[in-house]
Structure 1
Amino acid sequence: MSGNLVRGFAVASATAVTTVGAVAGVGQSGTGQAVADAGTTASGSTLLADIPMEGQARIQTASLNQQADAQSVAADTSARQTAAEAARVQAAKDAIAKQQEARRKEAQQKEAKRKEAERKALRDAEDGQEEQQQAGGSSTESSGVTQQSSYSVADVQAIARQIVPGGQFTCFSNIVDHESDWNYKAVNPSSGAYGLVQAYPGSKMSSAGADWRTNPATQIKWGLNYMNERYGSPCDAWTFWQANGSY
């Protein structure tokens, strides 16, 4: 590149077109003094007029190309950032959707198992009652529910649904959840409270049946009577429990 072309890069600016026009005007004047005036600033700096027309065109083309390249790079960077942010947002949405779907399926499976266990417990209880009736036997003295050698949580809950009125069952269940987690043999190591409703002492439940230690139906009947007599209903008892942490 010639020395004139190098100097031209140093002074090329937005006024390049005006400068080129000035150069053309000077060429028409034909006076050496006018050329000198157009080619020099007050400070003696070299202007675009010092550069041949071909060089001026090359300078302007290079400048425009640089601007176009810079704009292209900026646009590409912005597009990549936008795409990356969109991908991140979509990935987060997909992850949340998968978690929600997994929880929904898990809840459905648990509910299906719970209902099946309840149906099985009811069928077993009905079958036991029918067998006893055919054999001339009787049900337990306290509840009318056939006693078994052992009970699962589902069994106990199914029995409770038979004894506790439907509108009060949820409140009754909430209390039992907190007191014994539906363990009819639960014992408080500190106080000695016993059973589903944690009667203290446990022997109080003998008023509902002598089999209070091993028969959840007896415990449920006693607990229901206790809640009704002391608080008015299981739901009233649950309201008191929420306020005091016990009943």
Structure 2
Amino acid sequence: MSSSRYRGRHRGRHARPSEAPLTQALGVVRRPTVTAGLALALVGTGAVGVSANDAVADSEPFALNSAASAVAALTARESADDNSRISRDRSGANAQRAALGAKAEAEAKAKAEADAKVAKAKADAAAKARAAAAQKAARDKARDSAIANAKKDPRAAARAMALDEYGWGDSQWRCLNLLWEGESSWRYTAENPSSGAYGLPQSLPASKMAKFGADYRTNPITQIKWGLWYIDVSYGNPCNAWEFWNNRYPHWY
């Protein structure tokens, strides 16, 4: 009994180990067969020694890497194109801004020049207007002074005007002095009560003297101008008028 139990234990303990070499031997025999079949099957796929799943798995990283490279290359080209387009657009925008700036500068310069011309024209016109106003003021002042002096001394005014305007000197002045002394006693407001003759030369009617100014009733210079003109066109000079006056009675000329 003891001998049988011992053997059983011995055999039982070593049975599986004793089978392992055989199983391994059988496995060694079967594995080449399977591997060879798979190899024959994979020869047609171009992946000898690699299963179909392993072939697909091994080829996927390469395919993805190729696609990624293509995408990266395309992206790089697109990025380069975008950069080039952006650069061109930026250059065009800069050129357009420069052109607009130059145009605006030219327009501003032209406007400034035009404004300067207008301002100069206005300044020149204002200066001319001031000069004209100053001249008029000077003439008005001189006229007012001459009128005032003529009112005080009409003889002096008439003598100066006869010489300046007609060249009548002292001999003609003596005749003119006598003629208007007899007509108005050298009063510029003298008026004939019967005929209405008026002023230093006793114009009849008085309105004839308006030829030389509307102020003929108050301005002895206007009266003198008309009187000298009348003597010149009617008698040629004061002495002829004086002679004619003396030969008429009542006296007139």
TM-score range (shorter-chain normalised) is 0.3 to 0.5
TM-score (norm 2): 0.40
TM-score (norm 1): 0.41
Q: State the structure with more CA Rg.
A: 2
